[in-house]
């Protein structure tokens, strides 16, 4: 007879001790949540019909309603529209589901403004110095000319209610304190909601971001149920519905912030990708699901090459600052993203291009991406807004610093209208930016700088410090010229003028935003003669006082044109619909305009802006002659003229994760030339600049530092 082992009683005793535990069904780890595209989320939300939970009195005390967990246990976040419904019925709309059964942190409220203007003493509603206060001076837009062309153009909306964006979006619009749509929003949103491709040109600071974000979010929320079978995606982990491309990291961050506001509590997830930051953090965000992807081209191409992002499900494509995105250097990257990967072709996606400037040549390139599009021009295209007082002073290069000090001292203590102001100073090179920042600090001014040689953390810190008013002077290269919306910038100083007038328009557009007044001062020196005519026209168009000496410069024989001379005979800076020239019958004319008959308005553009002797032929000739036979007065090679002013920004197509580097050589050639040509500070700076690139192509690190990835 087998004796029980001596261990047996012990086992039995242990079993007894743990009996209650063993009888409890094992708690299985919740399944990892799957990401479902927005159009499928209805399948998960429908059975519930409504949110069964009572209103929450206060956040953040998340109730743990078991049913709610189960309902959405397969979703990484609330489905689009769910947030709105749950709020309507009082549910926990600002909580998102993450994996398993845990409550995610509440969806951060993007309306909580972190940057306080503590140091400025500016009342929020002080329009006189550029305070936003949420109120926009719409009178400033009343007489604005509008040009719309294309077939069957949907009519503009008078107000947001007319557009019917849905309750969630309307609430967010209210939270943004937008009372009325701006002109570009009135026209663009109905066009995009109607599913038409759009090329839109509207003045700086006129609300283009909302003009593309709102319809994208609205359309995603309205999307009809998908086909039964999802396509096979291989190893890709993210399948955004919408892609918004931006030329700079800071602009991408800003668009991301704005899109999050518009999409708050709609369940739409917005993710941003840009270079200069660890890629794994961005990958983690992607894995949590993405509906709208905001990206700079370099980082996006890198992640696409690594199969981390698929564009297969893109339904909405936006190029913000589209002329820049399709400009020299960027075009190959954009073509790769839009045409050579897995993005659906035009017709199966909605494409929208936005900028304040749209040269005709760029329009031609852009039309490859569009199908039967509508062209929209708000304001005198490519011109600055009349809200910006433009002052141009003749200041020899060696005098610039002294003059800058005079201006800063004058506005220093009392600011403008007895208020301190934010001042943005543009220079041409990164070295100049560093050097001027240091010099300002030495002279007792609180200044920071932003340019492509600073690390991304430094750049973001500088911008934040500037926005908050802690550092009220920021010296910048053209990396800050486009798109950045800092409401309290009251003064833009072009310490170095750019070589292209459209860059000037974008730079001064950092002030005078959203209907508020602003001041732009430019230091004009002998080296800027080639810009004189365009600058004069730009100022005249905006009803500015033009000094006599600028007329004299403008009348001087030209250096042979260049990319700053974009007169095309059909409207300044190529901002008219170039298809009109191709169509003798004017079939693209639409029949309405805002306070203007479309045709007559269009004609009046000609009266105001067509340069004498400047016709389409000469324009295309000019365009082709960029970089040809030009010698600046410093003897720089003709490439220097070809080069854009934002030298720190070119060569941006690669990034630290080993992304694509197409076009860098070409860009670097331009960059070197530009650095050499465009050092306006002093011998000291000139030497620094030349040393910077050593007369050879940029290093990989230089490209990484560029900031255009």
Q: Which residues bind ligand ATP (CB under 6 A)?
A: 132, 136, 178, 180-182, 185, 202, 204-210, 356, 483, 485, 487, 509, 513-514
Q: Which is nearer to ligand ATP, 298 or 379 (CB)?
A: 379
Residue showing the smallest CB distance to ligand ATP in the complex? 207
Q: State in angstroms the smallest separation of the CB of 80 from ligand ATP.
A: 22
CA–CA distance, 239 with 484 (Å, rounded to integer): 28
Among candidates 482, 456, 107, which has minimal Cα distance to 281? 456
Q: Which is nearer to ligand ATP, 182 or 534 (CB)?
A: 182
Among candidates 523, 211, 520, which has minimal Cα distance to 356? 211
3-class DSSP state of 522: strand
Q: 327 vs 335, 570, 667, CA distance in Å?
A: 12, 20, 11
Q: Residues with Cβ < 8 Å from 108, sequence gap 6 or more?
A: none
Across 66-99, b (16+ Cβ under 10 Å) vs e yields eebeebbebbbbbbbbbbbbbbeeebbbbbbbee
Dmax (CA) of the chain: 121
Encoding tokens for residue 551?
């007329």
Q: State in angstroms the smallest separation of the CB of 161 from ligand ATP.
A: 13
Q: Is 142 exposed, middle or buried (0-12, 13-18, 19+ CB in 10 A)?
A: exposed
Q: State in angstroms the smallest separation of the CB of 206 from ligand ATP.
A: 4
List 351's β-bridge partners, or say none: 317
Q: Which is nearer to ligand ATP, 183 or 707 (CB)?
A: 183
Q: State in angstroms the smallest separation of the CB of 143 from ligand ATP.
A: 18
Is the distance from CB of 351 to CB of 197 less than 8 angstroms?
A: yes
Q: State in angstroms the smallest separation of the CB of 208 from ligand ATP.
A: 4
Q: Which is nearer to ligand ATP, 382 or 651 (CB)?
A: 382
Q: State in angstroms the smallest separation of the CB of 486 from ligand ATP.
A: 9
Q: State in angstroms the smallest separation of the CB of 188 from ligand ATP.
A: 11
List 199's β-bridge partners, or say none: 353, 375
* 81 backbone dihedrals φ, ψ, rounded to 5°: 90, -25
Encoding tokens for residue 404?
């800058």
Is the distance from CB of 503 to CB of 533 less than 8 angstroms?
A: no
Q: State in angstroms the smallest separation of the CB of 406 from ligand ATP.
A: 28
CA angle, residues 676, 476, 261, in degrees to nearest 5: 140
Q: Which is nearer to ligand ATP, 110 or 289 (CB)?
A: 110
Q: State in angstroms the smallest separation of the CB of 135 from ligand ATP.
A: 7
Among candidates 197, 238, 195, which has minimal Cα distance to 219? 195
CA–CA distance, 137 with 487 (Å, rounded to integer): 13
Q: Which is nearer to ligand ATP, 255 or 703 (CB)?
A: 255
CA–CA distance, 553 with 376 (Å, rounded to integer): 34
CA–CA distance, 266 with 84 (Å, rounded to integer): 6
Is the distance from CB of 305 to CB of 299 less than 8 angstroms?
A: no
Edge-to-edge strand ranges of the sheet holding 146-149: 146-149, 374-378, 198-202, 350-355, 316-320, 242-245, 292-295, 270-273
Q: State in angstroms the smallest separation of the CB of 458 from ligand ATP.
A: 23
Q: Which is nearer to ligand ATP, 43 or 143 (CB)?
A: 143
Q: State in angstroms the smallest separation of the CB of 280 from ligand ATP.
A: 30
Q: State in angstroms the smallest separation of the CB of 554 from ligand ATP.
A: 26
Half-sphere exposure of 521 (CA within 13 A, CB side): 19
Q: What is the DSSP letter of 309?
A: B
Q: Which is nearer to ligand ATP, 214 or 290 (CB)?
A: 214
Q: State in angstroms the smallest separation of the CB of 689 from ligand ATP.
A: 28
Tell how far CA 140 is from the center of its chain: 23
């Amino acid at each position: 007879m087998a004796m029980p082992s001596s261990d047996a009683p012990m086992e039995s005793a242990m079993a007894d001790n743990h009996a209650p535990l063993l009888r409890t069904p094992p708690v299985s780890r919740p399944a990892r949540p799957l990401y479902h595209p927005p159009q499928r989320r209805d399948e998960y939300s429908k059975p519930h019909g409504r949110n069964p939970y009572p209103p929450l009195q206060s956040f953040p005390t998340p109730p743990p309603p078991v049913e709610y967990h189960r309902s959405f246990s397969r979703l990484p976040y609330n489905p689009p529209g769910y947030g709105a419904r749950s709020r309507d019925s009082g549910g926990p709309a600002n909580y998102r589901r993450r994996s398993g059964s845990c409550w995610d942190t509440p969806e951060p409220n993007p309306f909580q403004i972190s940057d306080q203007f503590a140091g400025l003493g500016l009342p929020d509603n002080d329009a006189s110095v550029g305070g936003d206060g949420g109120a926009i001076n719409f009178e400033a837009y009343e007489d604005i000319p509008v040009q719309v062309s294309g077939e069957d153009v949907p009519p503009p909306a008078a107000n947001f209610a007319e557009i019917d964006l849905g309750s969630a979006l309307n609430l967010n619009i209210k939270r943004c304190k937008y009372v009325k749509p701006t002109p570009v929003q009135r026209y663009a949103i109905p066009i995009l909601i109607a599913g038409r491709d759009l090329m839109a040109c509207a003045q700086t600071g006129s609300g283009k971001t909302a003009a593309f974000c709102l319809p994208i979010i609205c359309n995603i929320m309205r999307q009809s149920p998908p086909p039964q079978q999802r396509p096979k995606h291989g190893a890709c982990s993210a399948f955004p519905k919408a892609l918004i491309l931006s030329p700079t990291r800071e602009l991408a961050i800003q668009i991301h912030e704005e899109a999050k506001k518009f999409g708050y509590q709609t369940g739409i997830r917005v993710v941003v990708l840009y270079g200069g930051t660890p890629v794994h953090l961005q990958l983690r965000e992607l894995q949590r699901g993405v509906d709208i992807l905001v990206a700079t081209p370099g980082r996006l191409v890198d992640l696409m090459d690594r199969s981390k992002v698929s564009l297969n499900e893109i339904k909405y494509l936006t190029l913000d600052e589209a002329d820049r995105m399709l400009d020299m250097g960027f075009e190959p990257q954009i073509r790769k993203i839009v045409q050579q990967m897995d993005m659906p072709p035009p017709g199966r996606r909605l494409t929208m291009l936005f900028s304040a400037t749209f040269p005709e040549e760029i329009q031609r390139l852009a039309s490859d991406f569009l199908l039967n599009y509508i062209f929209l021009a708000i304001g005198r295209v490519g011109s600055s807004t009349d809200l910006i007082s433009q002052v141009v002073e003749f200041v020899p290069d060696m005098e610039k610093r002294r003059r800058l000090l005079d201006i800063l001292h004058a506005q220093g203590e009392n600011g403008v209208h007895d208020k301190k102001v934010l001042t943005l100073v543009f220079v041409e090179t990164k070295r100049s930016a560093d050097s001027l920042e240091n010099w300002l600090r030495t002279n007792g001014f609180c200044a920071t700088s932003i340019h492509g040689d600073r690390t991304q953390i430094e750049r973001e810190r500088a911008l934040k410090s500037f926005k908050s008013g802690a550092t009220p002077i920021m010296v910048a290269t053209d990396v800050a010229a486009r798109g950045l919306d800092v409401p309290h910038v009251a003064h833009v100083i072009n310490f170095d003028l750019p070589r292209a007038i459209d860059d000037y328009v974008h730079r001064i557009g950092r002030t005078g935003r959203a209907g508020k007044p602003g001041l732009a001062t430019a230091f004009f020196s002998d080296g800027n003669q080639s810009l004189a005519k365009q600058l004069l026209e730009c100022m005249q168009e905006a009803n500015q006082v033009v000094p006599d000496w600028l007329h004299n410069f403008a009348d001087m024989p030209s250096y042979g044109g260049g990319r700053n001379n974009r007169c095309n005979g059909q409207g300044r800076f190529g901002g008219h619909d170039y298809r009109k020239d191709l169509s003798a019958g004017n079939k693209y004319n639409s029949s309405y305009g805002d306070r203007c008959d479309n045709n007559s308005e269009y004609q009046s553009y000609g009266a105001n802006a067509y340069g004498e002797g400047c016709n389409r032929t000469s324009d295309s000739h000019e365009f082709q002659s960029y970089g040809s036979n030009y010698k600046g007065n410093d003897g720089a090679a003709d490439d220097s003229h070809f080069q854009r002013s934002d030298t720190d920004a070119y060569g941006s197509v690669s990034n630290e994760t080993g992304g694509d580097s197409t076009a860098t050589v070409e860009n670097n050639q331009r960059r070197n030339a530009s650095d050499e040509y465009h050092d306006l500070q002093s011998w000291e700076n000139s030497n620094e600049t030349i040393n910077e690139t050593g007369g050879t192509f940029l290093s990989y690190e230089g490209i990484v530092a560029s900031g255009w990835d």
